[in-house]
Amino acid sequence: MIVDVHTHVFLAETDFGPKLKADLERCGVDPQVWGNVAERHLETTKVADVAVVFGLQAAATDWNIPNEFVAMHVSRAAHRLLFFASIDPGRPGFMEELEKCHQQWGAVGVKMSPLYQNVHPADPRCYEIYRYCVKHGLPVLFHAGTSFVSGTPLDYSRPIHFDTVAMDFPELRIVLAHLAHPWEGEAIALIRRHRHVYCDLSALYYRPWQFYNSMRLLVEYRTHEKVLFGSDFPFTTTEDSLKGVRELNNIIDGSGLPTVSSEVIEGIIRRDTLRCLGLPNPKSIQQ
């Protein structure tokens, strides 16, 4: 089974605030290139058996994607999509939002983004969310690593800060997105020492030299079995990500550098992500 653990849906024209639009323009990103994100999501994620879907609530950086919109989108293909609620501890009523997403709209996990939300991952408000997630068996996927957004501390994305969270909540299933680039070494140290901490490799293949070195580091630390497949749609697609991961060794062709074995690569692509994170198979939810 192939699980894409990292996909987004949104309506850029209504869900992106002025600050976010200015950040995108500064970086030369035109949201129009993504087309109709919701319709493309339904079509392009079909190459995976299951896809995890979320939006982003982050008042500090002007992301305003309603969780209800994401939940409704998931209901259109509920046999293969899973809804993760985006919870912003910087907004009033965040616990009520979490309860509504979980109890009314069927969220099976949570997406948090400390850098985007301007909240340290060990903030007491976050600990309220973690306690709820442990009680109800909800994994938390964090944005980790760098980003184009401005005005918030990049330090909040460093994987070392999640070490304390994992120690205080040893039963909380955690995913650090993007191998926390450019701090892949820190992220690998965390997944090596914490039973329920994982990484995903979304949005990495199109930086092939960095990606190759990160994968070799995973192999050398024998931590590749703690890595999950993800794409980061719509910034790329599930199909393109699968192709990019499988072509990892092309960057070193003829160089004499050690390859990453196909067993490691296919192991990540076909990881039993649902079991790792304690997630239901969406097909079983529908039965």
Residue-level pLDDT at 286: 59
pLDDT in tens, 254-277: 999 999 999 999 999 999 999 999
What is the band of 194 on the pLDDT scale with cuts at 50, 70, 90?
Answer: very high
Residue type, 164: T
Query: Structural domain tally of the chain?
Result: 1
Residues 203-255 have pLDDT tens digits of: 999 999 999 999 999 999 999 999 999 999 999 999 999 999 999 999 999 99
Average per-residue pLDDT for the chain = 97
Nearest to 60 by CA among 113, 116, 131: 116
pLDDT in tens, 137-146: 999 999 999 9
For residue 287, the model assigns a pLDDT of 54
The mean per-residue pLDDT over the stretch 26-31 comes to: 92
> Over pLDDT 90: what percentage of the chain?
98
CA pair distance 278, 287, nearest whole angstrom: 18
pTM above 0.75, yes or no: yes
Give strand pairing partners of 82: 52
Supply the range of the domain harboring residue 82.
3-286
SS3 content of the chain, % helix, strand, coil (to 5): 50, 15, 35
Q: For residues 267, 158, 18 and 13, what is the CA-based torsion angle, rounded to 10 degrees?
A: 10
- The domain that contains 245 carries what CATH number? 3.20.20.140
- Looking at the predicted structure, is the pLDDT value of residue 284 above 80? no
Q: Which helix (H) or strand (E) holds 241?
A: helix 238-246
Mean pLDDT value of segment 90-117: 98
Quote the CA–CA distance of 260 and 40 in Å, as a whole number: 32
pLDDT, position 283: 84
